[in-house]
Chain A
Amino acid sequence: AQSVTQPDIHITVSEGASLELRCNYSYGATPYLFWYVQSPGQGLQLLLKYFSGDTLVQGIKGFEAEFKRSQSSFNLRKPSVHWSDAAEYFCAVGSNDYKLSFGAGTTVTVRA
């Protein structure tokens, strides 16, 4: 069965600093990997996804993620965070069926 681990429950970062959120997955075949963001009171918005090709994936809002098969990781990065990036971030893994398996999420706080 597929699963996702997000080791960091909460990260605080200064505005303008870089951000990296960790995600490790477990899946026997080629994984399909996603990052979603949930702003307070909002739904889940897709930031980016990977299922083949270039292992560095560009997403919306200036985010990128790198798939590293050898480390079973799909870490999310942003070079310079903005106060509006404060939110909860979820990594998810899918397969050739209907469902996604989500990690527990990482809450990002941005300080001025």
Chain B
Amino acid sequence: EPEVTQTPSHQVTQMGQEVILRCVPISNHLYFYWYRQILGQKVEFLVSFYNNEISEKSEIFDDQFSVERPDGSNFTLKIRSTKLEDSAMYFCASSAARQGGRYGYTFGSGTRLTVV
């Protein structure tokens, strides 16, 4: 079964450093998403991406965050200057249809980001 692949599985970074989380969505999917889950809290929507631009973003997704599809297979989330409160599990997801909210997505296994 096709998978969404995320690397690394765990990343530790110093506060103020830039991090890039990487994802390889399912190859024929066109819509890409990032969600995050702070320990003990809900899984929260960050951003959706289609046709090389952001479709929607949450209030969490401020200027410190950016997304990019640098080539035909990767989808990245960059956090420019990490804060302690950015420590969370970050999930990448993809869907074939625009209406991911209707049909659901395929999620990756997540990257646990720890900011120290």
Contacts and interface: CB of A to CB of B under 8 A. Distances in A.
B87 to A, nearest CB: 17
Among B33, B35, B43, the most chain A Cβ lie within 10 Å of the Cβ of B43
Interface of B: 4, 6, 31, 33, 35, 41-45, 48, 55-56, 58, 91, 98-110
A43 to B, nearest CB: 4
A94 B101 contact: yes
A63 interface: no
Interface size class of A (residues with CB under 8 A): 20 to 34
A24 to B, nearest CB: 14
A72 B44 CA distance: 21
A43 B43 contact: no
B101 A96 contact: yes
Interface string A99-112: 11111110000000
B101 A98 contact: yes
A32 B109 contact: no
Nearest to A9: B40
Given A43-B107, A43-B110, A44-B91, A96 B99 contact: yes
Contacts of B91: 43-44
Given A98-B33, A98-B48, A99-B48, A44 B43 contact: yes
